[in-house]
């Protein structure tokens, strides 16, 4: 019996890699070297290895804009007003997609700060998006379920984040909790542009291993990722 072919989106598939220059925790973070190559190149190489040949890097960094790129990679200069610490990613995409002609198709958002993301994870995310009817597929990691006990302050009043009953429940009886880890987002570009924001009505999750979910924000994070690659015998991920 012939093996079943994976279900993939029938529409155009493209990746967007946002590589902003400003970083307070680790200056120049997105061009910092990990296993011998800049951080942003790990996301490019993972996308190419996953079979995505239409890759767009949006950046305000001259070092990236002036670097040679593999075939299939297009560089876009990001305006300074969209490269601030408080600029939401949605605003970056709303500016980039129409200007780059990326108004239809399946968008794979790959943040450079998740350099240990595997090509097979990207493929699995695309397959899940194609068959599930989800508004978005998002990679997640396990989280401490006791966060369900937390709340917000309204003056001196405690407002439960979820259900009041959870605040007084035993931790073991609380439901499983996951957190977005930032490694992978897959969604429809046309739907995003029409709504002006992400579709959150039907998000499906793709759990990934903790090592793969590492996020780099500081020099210590970079050192930890380097150690993981060394321990795995991979010095050129």
**Do the beta carbons of residue 67 and residue 17 sit within 8 Å?**
no
* Beta strands at 177-188 and 106-109: parallel, antiparallel or unpaired: antiparallel
| Three-state secondary structure call for residue 96 | helix
What lies within 8 Å, CB to CB, of 222 at 6+ separation is 26, 32, 34, 216
The pLDDT value given to residue 26: 87
In the block, residue with structure tokens 């297009």:
74
Can you tell me the distance from the alpha carbon of 226 to that of 232, in angstroms, rounded to the nearest whole number?
Answer: 10
Q: How confident is the model at residue 8 (pLDDT cuts 50, 70, 90)?
A: low
Closest by alpha carbon to 60, among 78, 73, 75, 86? 78
Give the CB-side neighbour count of residue 70, counting CA atoms within 13 A.
Answer: 16
Mean pLDDT, range 163-184, rounded to an integer? 95
Q: What is the rounded average pLDDT of the residues 97-103?
A: 96
- pLDDT band at residue 11 under the 50/70/90 scheme: confident
Q: Check: CB of residue 15 under 8 Å from CB of residue 112.
A: no
Asked if residue 89 has pLDDT above 90, the reply is: yes
Average pLDDT of the residues of the chain:
92
Report the first-to-last Cα separation within the chain, whole angstroms: 35
> Mind listing the pLDDT tens digit for each residue in 182-220?
999 999 999 999 999 998 889 999 999 999 999 999 999
Q: Residue 181 gets which letter from DSSP?
A: E
User: What's the length of the chain?
Assistant: 237
């Amino acid at each position: 019996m012939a093996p079943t072919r994976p279900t993939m989106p029938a529409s155009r598939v493209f990746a967007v890699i946002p590589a902003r220059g400003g970083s307070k925790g680790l200056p120049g973070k997105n061009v910092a070297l990990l296993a011998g190559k800049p951080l942003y190149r790990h996301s490019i190489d993972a996308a190419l290895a996953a079979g995505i040949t239409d890759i767009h890097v949006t950046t305000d960094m001259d070092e990236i804009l002036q670097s040679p790129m593999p075939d299939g990679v297009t560089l876009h200069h990001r305006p300074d007003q969209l490269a601030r610490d408080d600029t939401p990613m949605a605003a970056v995409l709303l500016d980039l997609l129409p200007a780059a002609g990326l108004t239809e198709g399946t968008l794979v958002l790959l943040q450079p700060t998740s350099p240990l993301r595997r090509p097979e994870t990207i493929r699995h995310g695309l397959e899940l998006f194609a068959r599930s009817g989800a508004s978005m597929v998002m990679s997640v990691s396990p989280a401490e379920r006791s966060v369900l006990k937390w709340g917000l302050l309204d003056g001196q009043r405690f407002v439960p984040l979820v259900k009041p009953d959870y605040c007084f429940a035993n931790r073991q009886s609380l439901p499983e909790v996951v957190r977005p880890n930032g490694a992978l987002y897959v969604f429809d570009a046309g739907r995003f542009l029409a709504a002006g924001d992400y579709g959150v009505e039907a998000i499906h999750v793709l759990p990934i291993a903790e090592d793969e979910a590492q996020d780099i924000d500081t020099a210590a994070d970079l050192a930890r990722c380097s150690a993981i690659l060394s321990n795995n015998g991979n010095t050129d991920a």
